[in-house]
Amino acid sequence: MLVVLFLLIPLPKFDDPRSTVVYASNEELLGARIAADGQWRFAPEEKIPENYARALILYEDKYFRFHPGINPVSLGRAFIQNLKAGRIVSGGSTLSMQLARMSRKNPTRNFSGKFLEILMALKLECCYTKDKILALYADVAPFGGNVVGITAASWRYFNRPPERLSWAEAATLAVLPNAPALIHPGRNAALLKQKRNALLARLFKKEYIDSLSYQLALAESLPRAPLPLPGLALHVVEKAHKQFPGQNIYTTIDYTLQEKSIHLLEQQSKELEQNEIHNLAALVCDVRKNSILAYAGNISAIAQLDVFVDIAQTPRSSDSILKPLL
């Protein structure tokens, strides 16, 4: 019977809508748009950073590399506690079981649900490698508010991709999914710092980090609130979102040249505003490669003007086209 149930249970699926994410030619983030369901959920990472993986396993499931999806000792202890309480008070869940539960949209905890999660976790372990399960967990874990997945969390809380996280930042993100509604940047900062530092101490004890790295990590401050995502190519991101919603878009835009173009236009806009010229745009192309290196659709020194209108794409009369040449 158990074998039949195991075979009939489908693998967990994660098909929630994704954010539209736009990158420069060097894969630096230019900007993003929120997913259709109002969540910041970036495309999944093929492999998560080693420091985050170690922190997560140590915090959530220290026997993850060795068990087949369930930890009999933890389950036995949880079963006794739940039996005494007459309800689910302890889960004893492994990372694989937590992943199974998240695929079910975190339903109310009960014994039948726990049994289903056990079967789903066992199936996950049969079909995927440990690294794949870790990557799936990191991709769908909640990190507080409307931030889902390690990539979105890395950008929203630390303004950098996951592979550039420090040990302190990795430890912070490792503890967040355990209680994202209770602790996240901007809420219960003292408790979040306590949990992060306790995990850092365990990482130090395990000799994953040396003494200097440990002391520096303890000294790092926590983010006070989610950070705004980069907005270096507003009109490019908007166009990509309309044409390719929910996808990762890799452009030919040169990140440094884009920054310089925006800065130059902002300077010129302040000067030209005195002559009643309120909007500027720039397009830098590599004609040999037929590629766009920088794109600024609308820059204005006047805040209340609608800079979301892409004047670089707006049709012009012949008089307007000839003005710069006359």
Catalytic residue numbers? 60, 320
CA distance 10 to 127: 11
CA distance 230 to 212: 32
What sign has the CA pseudo-torsion 143, 230, 187, 145? negative
| Gyration radius of the chain's alpha carbons | 25
Q: At what angle do helices 189-205 and 211-219 cross, to 10 degrees?
A: 180
